[in-house]
């Protein structure tokens, strides 16, 4: 693959090309699923190809191919240059890039147990055990369990002399229990919705998740929800579990800090951001206890956004996004950093595959642990505690949001007093984070994987990481009706 990347780069360096980079990616995936006691998905796939990105006449061109012959590479390189030159027809200013050093590096994400080394029957056996445990409760009408494994081997080469080889191994698993009764469909997922938990780990993640051990509880909760009262509407203190808070972070911190979105690149599709440039270092994003980072380094944890270098050869970094409540940083690329006068990219350019252009994507955007014990977070006289995301929606400036969760409990005096069904909350991003009154400490902090983040045209679906511990928010709007 190194030779392929080198050859493709040489091919791309034609007269008039100011900069070029090449990514050669070899991707292997395994997807297993069960449904009501039977295998529903047993599949593996492999995909090998390369993408060539060039800067010519001050404009970008990108072409990708799975034909790695000399002719295929030449065609892709020529097409990338032709595309860049055509872009110049509608150019306002030439692209400028913040500098980056040249790196020669090889990096492999650590794992204890290679997930591809386990036999498929062992892995399916685990899912079938979960399935059996879920359906032990006769109220469960549908049980689904899934396992996804992914290994990306990538070589990046650029015209400034970088040659970076990275191999990342991801593992994910989870399950859902559905119960349908009299027109009421309830669902519980474990350890999270979106196919469960996903991390940059090996099979050891599966052992940590205690999937089978939690199945009976999850099934019981799904069935019990039918008899639970609906979550009351009004303004209440709200406590979120760390998985729901991870998605809250994703939507209302992660997306708005994408600098390409701020600058208008996504205006037609994913939208823009309320975080206009004048807000940097000024906006009171959250309360004093709110601290958030964008951190791709392994020391942050084995997240879906962990790597050694981003997809334009910039080293992994930690950027402080919110510092004691104050907004302090965007996610940038070499181009957008230069556009706002910053000296360097903070390394967040990622592509979903060899066939896609790198874009600014969340790495691991995390809420740092707070100073509170779990008892203190739950210590409110009266609150609603919600767990596990069910629905999520936010406006195209990332300002007004509504989330639904699978289950809630009414909290009185720090104790769960009754289960509630169909909980929903909504709010305005900055009002919500400024209402944060307690964040649990590192003992309760989890780095969640969100595997299905979409952005860009053609759309790219990529995994992102979000660390969070349970937190409490004061006076949040609960319910979805037009009446308060």
Partner 1 sequence: MSQTAELVSERQCREALDAAIGAARGSGVAEVEVLIGAEREALTRFANNTIHQNVEAIEHHVSVRVITDQRTARATTSSFDQGAIARATTQAIALARASAPDPGLCPLLEPSEAGTPPAVNRFDEATAAATPHSRAEAVQRAIDAVRSAGQTAAGIYSNGESFEAILNSAGVAAFHRQTSAVFSITALAEDSSGWAKVSSTSSKDVDAEFLARQAADKARRSRHPREIPPGRYTVILSPAAVLDLAGQIFADFSATAIADDRSFLSGRMGEALFGENISITDDVTHPLQSGPAFDGEGAARSRLSLVERGVAKEVAYGRTAARREGRTATGHGFPQPSDAGEMPVNIVIAGGGTSIEDMIASTRRGIFVTRLWYIREVDPYEKIMTGMTRDGTFWVENGEMQYGIRNLRFNQSVVELLRNVDALSPAVRASGEESFDMVVPAMRANEFEFSEVTRY
| Smallest separation (angstroms) from partner 1 to the CB of 236 | 17
β-strands 59-65, 38-56 pairing: antiparallel
Shortest Å distance, C-beta 8 to partner 1: 14
Backbone phi and psi for residue 200, each to the nearest 5 degrees, phi listed first: -85, 75
Based on CB atoms, which residue is closest to partner 1, 60 or 107? 60
Do residues 484 and 232 lie in contact, with contact meaning Cβ atoms separated by under 8 Å? Answer: no
In the stretch 346-375, what mask flags binding to partner 1 with x, by CB under 8 A?
A: ---------xxx------------------
**Within 13 Å and on the Cβ side, how many CA atoms surround 456?**
20
144 forms part of the interface with partner 1 (CB under 8 A): yes
CA gap 411, 183 in Å, rounded:
28
Residues 89-108 that bind partner 1 (CB under 8 A): 89-93
Name residues contacting partner 1, limited to 11-50 (CB under 8 A).
33, 35-36, 38-49
Q: Which of 20, 134, 249, 263 binds partner 1 (CB under 8 A)?
A: 263
- Closest distance between partner 1 and the C-beta of residue 64, in Å? 4
Which CB sits closer to partner 1, 65 or 434?
A: 65
The SS3 assignment for 421 reads strand
Q: Site for partner 1 (CB under 8 A): which residue of 279, 379, 392, 414?
A: 392
Of 42 and 417, CB closest to partner 1: 42
Bridge partners (DSSP) listed for residue 47 = 27
Residues 400-429 close enough to bind partner 1 by CB under 8 A = 400, 402, 404, 422, 424, 426, 428
Minimum CB distance to partner 1 smaller for 101 or for 395: 395
* Residue 138 near partner 1 by CB under 8 A: no
- Of 356 and 372, CB closest to partner 1: 356
Closest of 215, 197, 30, 39 to residue 125, by C-alpha:
39
Region of 14-22, 268-276, 370-378, 433-441 interacting with partner 1 (CB under 8 A):
268-276
**Number of other residues whose CB lies within 10 A of the CB of residue 66:** 12
Which residue number, 54 or 368, has a Cβ lying nearer to partner 1? 54
Q: What is the DSSP string of 292-339?
A: EEEE-SGGG-S-TT--SB-TTSPBP-EEEEEETTEE---B--HHHHHH
Q: Which of residues 448-477 bind partner 1 (CB under 8 A)?
A: 457-458
Q: Does 180 bind partner 1 (CB under 8 A)?
A: yes
**Residue 226 in contact with partner 1, rule: CB under 8 A:** no
Q: Is 373 or 400 the residue whose CB approaches partner 1 more closely?
A: 400
391 binds partner 1 (CB under 8 A): yes
Q: Specify the residue, 3 or 121, whose C-beta has the smaller distance to partner 1.
A: 121
Q: Which H or E run contains 8?
A: helix 2-12
- Residues near 247 by Cβ (< 8 Å), separated by ≥ 6? 389, 392, 403, 450, 466
- Binding pattern for the stretch 270-309 against partner 1, x by CB under 8 A and - elsewhere: -x--x-----------------------------------
Residue 303 contacts residue 465 (beta carbons within 8 Å): yes
Q: How far apart are CA 191 and CA 175, in angstroms?
A: 8
Determine the interface stretch with partner 1 among 105-113, 121-129, 197-205, 436-444 (rule: CB under 8 A).
121-129
Give all strands (DSSP E) within 196-260, no chain letters.
197-199, 234-240
For 389, residues 6+ apart whose C-beta sits below 8 A from its C-beta are: 192, 193, 194, 243, 244, 247, 403, 404, 405, 406
Q: Provide the 10 A C-beta neighbour count for residue 108.
A: 12
- Tell me the window of 140-148, 310-318, 360-368, 442-450 that interacts with partner 1 (CB under 8 A): 140-148
Mention every residue, 6+ apart, whose C-beta is less than 8 A from residue 16: 56, 57, 81, 85
Residues 49-78 binding partner 1 (CB under 8 A) are 49, 51, 59-67
Strands (E), 114-220: 142-158, 163-181, 184-190, 197-199
């Amino acid at each position: 693959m190194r030779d392929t990347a080198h050859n493709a780069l040489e091919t791309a360096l034609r007269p008039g090309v100011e900069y070029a980079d090449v990514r050669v990616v070899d991707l292997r995936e395994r997807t297993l699923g069960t449904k009501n006691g039977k295998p529903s998905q047993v599949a593996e796939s492999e995909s090998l190809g390369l993408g060539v990105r060039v800067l010519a006449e001050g404009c970008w061109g990108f072409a990708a191919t799975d034909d790695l012959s000399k002719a295929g590479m030449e065609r892709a390189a020529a097409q990338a240059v032709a595309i860049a030159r055509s872009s110049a027809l509608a150019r306002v200013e030439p692209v400028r890039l913040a500098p980056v050093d040249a790196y020669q590096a090889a990096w492999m994400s650590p794992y204890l147990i290679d997930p591809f080394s386990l036999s498929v029957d062992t892995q399916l056996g685990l899912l079938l055990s979960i399935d059996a445990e879920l359906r032990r409760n006769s109220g469960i009408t549908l049980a689904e369990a899934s396992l996804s494994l992914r290994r990306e081997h990538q070589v990046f080469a650029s015209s400034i002399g970088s040659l970076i080889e990275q191999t990342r191994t991801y593992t994910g698993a989870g399950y859902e229990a559905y119960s349908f009764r009299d027109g009421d469909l309830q669902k519980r997922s474990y350890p999270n919705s979106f196919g469960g938990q996903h991390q940059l780990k090996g099979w050891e993640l599966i052992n940590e998740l205690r999937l089978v051990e939690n199945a009976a509880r999850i099934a019981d909760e799904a069935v019990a929800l039918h008899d639970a009262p609906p979550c009351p509407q009004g303004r209440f203190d709200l406590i979120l579990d760390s998985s729901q808070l991870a998605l809250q972070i994703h939507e209302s911190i992660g997306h708005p800090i994408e600098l390409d979105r701020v600058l208008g690149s996504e205006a037609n599709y994913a939208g823009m951001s309320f975080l206009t440039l004048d807000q940097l270092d000024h906006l009171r994003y959250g309360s004093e206890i709110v601290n958030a980072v964008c951190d791709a380094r392994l020391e942050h944890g084995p997240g879906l956004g962990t790597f050694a270098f981003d997809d334009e050869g910039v080293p992994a970094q930690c950027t402080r996004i919110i510092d004691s409540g104050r907004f302090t940083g965007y996610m940038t690329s070499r181009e957008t950093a230069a556009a706002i006068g910053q000296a360097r990219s903070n390394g967040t350019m990622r592509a979903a595959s060899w066939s896609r252009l790198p874009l600014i994507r969340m790495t691991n955007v995390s809420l740092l642990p707070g100073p509170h014990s779990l008892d203190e977070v739950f210590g409110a006289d009266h609150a609603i505690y919600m767990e596990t995301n069910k629905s999520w929606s936010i406006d195209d400036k990332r300002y007004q949001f509504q989330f639904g969760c699978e289950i809630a409990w009414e909290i009185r005096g720090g104790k769960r007093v009754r289960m509630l069904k169909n909980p929903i909350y909504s709010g305005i991003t900055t009002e919500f984070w400024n209402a944060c009154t307690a964040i649990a400490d590192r003992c309760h902090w989890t780095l969640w994987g969100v595997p299905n983040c979409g952005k860009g045209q053609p759309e790219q679906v990529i995994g992102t990481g979000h660390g969070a511990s349970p937190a409490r928010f004061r006076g949040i709007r609960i319910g979805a009706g037009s009446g308060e």
